[in-house]
Amino acid sequence: MSLSEIRRILISDSLAPACASILRSQGGIEVTESPGLSPEQLLSVIKDYDGLIVRSATKVGADVLQAGSRLKVVGRAGTGVDNVDVEAATKNGVIVMNTPTGNSISAAELTCGLILSLSRQIPQAAASMKEGRWDRKKFMGSELHGKTLGVLGLGRIGKEVAVRMQAFQMKTIGYDPVIPPEVTAEFGVQQFALEEIWEQCDYITVHTPLLPSTTGLINDEAFSRCKRGVRVINCARGGIIDEEALLRALESGQCGGAGLDVFTEEPPRDKALVNHPLVISLPHLGASTNEAQNRCGEEIALQIVDLVKGKALIGAVNAPALSRAFSPKTKPWIQLGEALGVLLRALLPKLSGDIQLTTSGEALRDAGSYLCSAVTVGLLRGTEERLNLVNATFFARNLGIKVTSLHCSENGEEVLALSCGGLQLLGGLSGSSPCLLQIGSSTFHSPVSLHGTLLLWEGQAPLPKLIEVLAESGGHLRVFHVSEGHSVAGVSSPLSDLSPLGPCTQLAF
């Protein structure tokens, strides 16, 4: 993937001016700001851009990603990527990134505001006053002091909510299948199994992504286990709370109120929840603060600038393993992995099945994930037009090829070994240049550079004859080794007439 070729970016939603300014000034990128494009207009123009930045209004479906033949990155200035077809992006080799921290504070503060509003019926009382009434008895509230708040999802936003509500002397408990209990205990949240949460809570707030496992997380069964009059808040994603179950719980009194900033359908056509007197409903305002919009716009711009300059890959949704691959130290190893993949494919043209990548050396202890992608790019080079580190594994899986990694801690030398069908290639770095150290059981006398053009020759021609043919063909011999039937020559330019050498494969790196 030539990320340095990201030269034109389209911003199709309204973003803070800082976003385009940073892309232009720090990345040297041409930016077009066209908020409000229709789906047809987006399909028409996307072919001219290397990158696309959106908020939540623009829908980036498979048709957009397919039409964007130059697209290399889609940036979501916000947390969720529900409006981006991540699977289609991966297939097309497009990195999808978001700004997971940009709106955390704003979303957390809105959640706290809804908890307070539910406890004291603030919006309802304010509306009553505007209608000319003075209903002090009607709007009897309850204190938050001493109440229990259940936080489902204890990432950035969930943590911020818990910490703020502790200032009201609320007891904060929670559930998160990923974050260890000892981590959440440090910010005052005791974790419980989900089935143990319901009966303890006076208030429940959700801060999870919308996944198959979290869709309908709060449903009829969950409500039946809760305290009567429990209040629920959703500033995360519509669908985490089953809306029909919530309506039933409100009507029966099992749920005493709900604060909803998100809905399954936005805007909701069914107004039953919106108009319910115990529901405080908002039009998806979690990130709607000047600070959050500025922060998200700045963050997505800086992330793309870092990507273009090869400094870092931050916020990647569909290529998290590649985050460690964007640094000067790892790039030569990625080049080596790809070169070994090319070489293995040349030696085993009917390649299929499992391929084992073994890393050794402390610097490569955690490199297996992205090096597997690099090897796969080499194996499949030339088979797919948009092949890169993002989608290589996807295409390999469809061909029945799987590259797995293993780290060998016993060997302190930093090398890569690639094995398949009884053949093993061993490679390393000479300075910062990828090189071949071994084919099978044959070790080369000195490293063979995997840069430029490499000839693989199998035959019985004597060494002088091979040198003579190389010289007559106009190629400048760089390095030459003979190893158990495999002859390897490195030349500075392609050779046209190789017939005197016998069966020969020419590879370009």
* Spatial CA neighbour of 10 closest among 42, 49, 37: 49
Q: Which two tokens stand for residue 390?
A: 């993002």
Active site residue 266: yes
* Rounded Cα gap, residues 61 and 165, in angstroms: 39
Residue type, 299: E
Total residue count of the chain as it appears in this document:
509
Give the sign of the dihedral formed by CA 96, CA 102, CA 104, CA 110. negative
The active-site residue, picked from 266, 362, 468, 472, is 266
For residue 260, the surrounding DSSP H or E stretch is strand 255-260
Active site residue 385: no
How far are the Cα atoms of 99, 313, 322, 500 from residue 21, in angstroms, in the given order?
18, 20, 27, 60
Kindly give the pairing relationship between strand 486-491 and strand 415-420. Answer: unpaired
For tokens 């009884």, the residue is 422
For tokens 């007559």, the residue is 472
Active site residue 284: yes
How far are the Cα atoms of 122, 172, 230, 246, 457 from residue 225, in angstroms, in the given order?
28, 18, 10, 13, 73
DSSP sequence for 147-175:
-EEEEE--SHHHHHHHHHHHTTT-EEEEE
Backbone angles phi, psi at 102, to 5 degrees: -60, -40
Q: Is 13 helix (H, G, I), strand (E, B) or coil?
A: coil
The active-site residue, picked from 70, 120, 225, 284, is 284
Would you give the DSSP letter of residue 240?
S
**Residue partners of 472: CB distance under 8 A and separation at least 6:** none
* Rounded Cα gap, residues 260 and 278, in angstroms: 11
* Rounded Cα gap, residues 314 and 303, in angstroms: 6
Q: How many CA atoms lie within 13 A of 432 on its CB side?
A: 6
Would you give the DSSP letter of residue 139?
T
Backbone angles phi, psi at 205, to 5 degrees: -125, 140
* Rounded Cα gap, residues 261 and 319, in angstroms: 30
Q: Is 251 helix (H, G, I), strand (E, B) or coil?
A: helix
How far are the Cα atoms of 126, 136, 482 from residue 131, in angstroms, in the given order?
9, 14, 94
Positions marked catalytic: 237, 266, 284
